[in-house]
Amino acid sequence: MNYNTKRRIAALLAVPALLFAAACGSDGDSDGAQAGAVAEVDGKAGEKPEISTPKDGEPAAKTVVETVSEGDGTAVKASDFVRLDWTVEKWGDNKELGGTWQTTSTSSGTPRPQSVEQIGKQSQQLPAKVLDAVKGKKSGSRILVQGTAGDLIGEGLNPSSGLTAKDVLVWVLDVDGAATVDAKAEVKGEQAAPAAGMPEVKAPSQKAATITIPKNTKAPKDLEQQVLIKGDGKKVEAGQGLVAQYTGVKWEDGKKFDSSWDHGGATAFQIGTGSVVQGWDKGLVGKNVGDRVLLVIPPSLGYGANPSSELAKNTLVFVVDILGVV
């Protein structure tokens, strides 16, 4: 899904607006050791890092990428989907400007929201150059990226942030998971007929699904779901990144409002953390990789709580191919 679509479908973690007018990066050096000081990072991967900078001495003049601690997972490849924790501070301020660690798990045990990204694709959370630093690192690693706002954020630097292009920023990223999924992958198998009162789904290969709303049938008031093709892969757990193909239409007029196939193919979301509409969290957690799932989501579990959304009053119908988890 593209940037604008992801903003609409997912009620994602707040973009660190203090920093970004738009997520982007710029060219520049991204080497290991450089002349000048580099921030120190304390704490284990998987725990909130503590960043400290020396009181004396100037920060390295060029962007630095260092592996603080190496994980034991597979190396992240170009176009992989990754699940990340991250934080960012301005050199010498000891004040978090943004990140995933600001949100803790709820009392009900819901996992903490994290960033789920695809290497090489535009992110709402991280500048391109910071996200690209993850490539080649092993899953489970903790990575430091240090550089000027001008180099790491570039033209995307928010003019109201109070930062200048010369200010040095320190990012720490934990790679909690990675998965390789073909952008054109799709679920295979014999598809079940729709249950009574459910829409009919035709899913041509490599194209958005066609979803036909049953005639003279009122939209259900509660979440309805049906597994159209049963997979035999891993069970989807809350907190994981879900990699999927999907198509969504409005029950009221049957018109498509979005599809991953219209935006380059497979995309990923964190599931079970409130990072997507409730109907996805309730309907997809517990399903299996390889499932094709039909969801009918009432406004109360869709965008009903957001009256400014163009879909606030609509019952949403999705067909989702679960391709993998991160």
Model pTM score: 0.88
Closest CA to 184 of 6, 323, 288: 323
Judge contact between 127 and 25, C-beta under 8 A.
Answer: yes
pLDDT average, residue stretch 16-39: 56
Task: Give the whole-angstrom CA distance, residue 267 versus residue 244.
Answer: 6
pLDDT of residue 35: 77
Strands 142-148 and 64-69: antiparallel
In this predicted structure, the answer to whether residue 126 has a pLDDT above a threshold of 70 is yes
Give pLDDT tens digits for 181-224: 999 999 999 999 999 999 999 999 999 999 999 999 999 999 99
In this predicted structure, the answer to whether residue 8 has a pLDDT above a threshold of 70 is no
Q: Provide the pLDDT confidence category of residue 28 given band limits of 50, 70 and 90.
A: very low
Which of 119-123, 237-241, 290-294 has the weakest average pLDDT? 119-123
pLDDT of residue 19: 62
Higher-confidence position of 20 and 37 = 37
Alpha carbon of residue 35 to chain centroid: 35
Give pLDDT tens digits for 278-310: 999 999 999 999 999 999 999 999 999 888 999
pLDDT average, residue stretch 144-157: 94
Q: What is the largest CA-CA distance in the chain?
A: 74
In this predicted structure, the answer to whether residue 54 has a pLDDT above a threshold of 70 is yes
10 Å CB burial of residue 56 (0-12, 13-18, 19+) is exposed
Q: What is the 3-state secondary structure (H, E, C) of 207-245?
A: CCCEEECCCCCCCCCCCEEEEEECCCCCECCCCCEEEEE
pLDDT of residue 109: 74
